[in-house]
Amino acid sequence: MGPQRPAANLEWVFPTETTPGTECPVKLVISNPGTATLFGAVADVLIPAGVEILGTNPPAVDASATEMRWELGNLRAGESREIAMQIRARSAGEQQLEASVSLSAAATCRLNITEPKLAIKVTAPEDSELGQQTSVTVDVSNPGTGRAEDVVLVASLPEGLEHKSGAVVTIDIGTLNPGEARRARLSLTAIAGGGQQIELKAAGTGDLLAETTATVEVAEPELQLAVQVPDQEISGQSGTYVVQLENTGLVPAANVRARYVLPAGFEFLSADRGGRFVPADRAVEWFVGTVNAGETTGFTAILKAGRSGRSEHRISAQTDFGEIAATEEVTQVEGSADLKLELATLNATPGTTLRNGQQTTLRVLIRNAGSEAARSVGMSCELPAGLTLIDVEGPADYIAENGVLVFRSLPEIAAGDSAEFLLQVRCSRGGVQSSRIRIASASTAQPLIGELQTEVQN
C-alpha cells in the first residue's frame, strides 16, 4: 500500500502475516514529499479490538485501548518521521490499523492474521512380541492457515519399550506449511509384555502444541511351574523330584533357564538334561532353551532329604527379560533311624596275642545315629568253628543252634541310644576266626552285615 496525499505521505511497514500471541513489529512512516514545510503535524492511529499494543517509539502523547496520538511538530520538505510499534494479535483473521494526520493525509494498514495448528496421528502394530522389534509411525500435520515453524516431535517411552536414543526420543520436524504433513518412524524393541503406552508431543513457535498417546500391545509367553515331590520324604533317603514347565501363552519363550533351590539340609545327587549343581547357591540350574506356545517340558533331580521337619522347595524360570515364573512347594521330612554297627575283640590282657584254649570277649555295639527310633531291632551272630560260646551278656535273650545265635528283637533303639552285646568265647583252633553279625530293623530298608576277625595262635 503506497503513500497517500495531498499534504503528507503515510506509509505502513509491516510483515505480510503473523500468528496469534506472537509479537509483531509494525512501523508508521510520515513524510513530506512536497516542497513546503508542514506545520503542527499530529498523527492518530485507531487500534482494532483484536490487536494489543505492547510498546511504541516514540511514546504516544495520548493513548487509550482504541486510539493513540503523536505530536510530530513541523516537517520540512523531504523530511519524515517514524513511529515504531510492537503489536500482538489476540485472534486469527484480518485486523486493520488506521492512521491519520491532522493535515488530512491518511493511510490504512491491513494485516492478515493467520493461525497455524498442529495435529498428531499415530499408527501402531496391532500386536508385537516380547523381544522383537516393532515400528510405530507418527504423522505430524498442520491443519491451520499459517506456517508452523520450528516443529519438534517428542516421544516419551514406557519401561517396556526400548529405543537406541533412550527413554525420550526427539525428532526435528521443521517448518510445516498450511495443510502439510511429515512422517516419523520409531523403531522400538519390546522388553516387557502387556500394554505399553507412548506419550507424544509436537510443539512449535508461538506456543503451538499437540499431544496424544498410543498403546502398543506386547504379547509375552506365560510360563507355569509345578514340582512333583515323593509321596514320603524320609531323612537320609533319596527321592526323585520332577519339575514341570508349561508355556500357556501365545508366543514362544526363548532362552529359558530353570533354577531349583534345595531346601536346607538336602543333598544333591544327580540331575537330567544337563542340570548342574551350584554349591554356593545350593541350586540346580538347567538351560531349557525355547518353549513353544502350548508346550510342556520337564526335568528331574535326585535329592537326599536332610533333617526332619518343614522343607521349602523353590523353583523359578527366567528368560533374557528376567524372571517370569516361580513356585514354591512346602513338604514335611520325616525322621529316620540310622543304625551303625561297631565290632571289637576284647582280649583278657591288652596287647597280647590270643592262643588256642584262651578265652576272649566279642563286643557288638548297635548305635542309632538317626533322628528317629529304630523299631524291632534284631541280631543274629554266626560263630566260626574255632570259637566256642561260653556266655552272653546283652539286653535280649537268644537261642543258639549249630554255632548260630539268634537274638530276640529289641522293641526299639531310641535316637542317639545304643545296645551292647558281649559274647564270651574260648579259642579252640588257631588261625583267623571270622564271626559274622547281621542286624535288621523294621525302620531300615537294608540289614547291616558285619564281620569280626579274631586272630588265634596255636
Reported CATH class of domain 339-457: mainly beta
CATH number of the domain at 223-334, please? Answer: 2.60.40.10
Domain residue ranges of the chain, discontinuous segments joined by +:
9-113, 119-219, 223-334, 339-457
Instruction: Give yes or no for a contact between 184 and 171, defined as CB atoms under 8 angstroms apart.
Output: yes
In Å, the largest CA–CA distance within the chain is: 167
Which residues make Cβ contacts (< 8 Å) with residue 160, sequence separation at least 6? 190, 191, 192, 193, 194, 196, 218
Ordered mean pLDDT values, 10 residues apiece, the chain (458 residues): 60 85 90 84 88 90 88 88 90 82 58 88 87 92 95 95 94 95 94 90 95 91 92 87 93 92 95 96 95 94 89 92 85 87 81 85 94 92 94 95 93 94 94 95 91 90
pLDDT tens, residue by residue, 25-77:
999 999 988 888 888 889 899 988 888 889 999 998 888 888 999 998 888 88
pLDDT tens, residue by residue, 186-226:
999 988 888 999 999 999 999 999 999 999 998 888 899 99
Question: Do 119-219 and 223-334 agree at the fold level?
Answer: yes
Fold of 119-219: Immunoglobulin-like (2.60.40)
Supply the pLDDT for residue 4.
Answer: 41
**Which of 250, 8, 205, 33 has the alpha carbon at shortest distance from 114?**
205
How far is 283 from 327, CA to CA, in rounded Å?
Answer: 14
Strand order in the sheet with 23-31: 9-13, 23-31, 80-89, 51-57
CATH number of the domain at 9-113, please? Answer: 2.60.40.10
Query: Does the predicted model carry a pTM greater than 0.85?
Result: no
**DSSP conformational letter for 308:** S
Dihedral of alpha carbons 63, 64, 65, 69, sign: negative
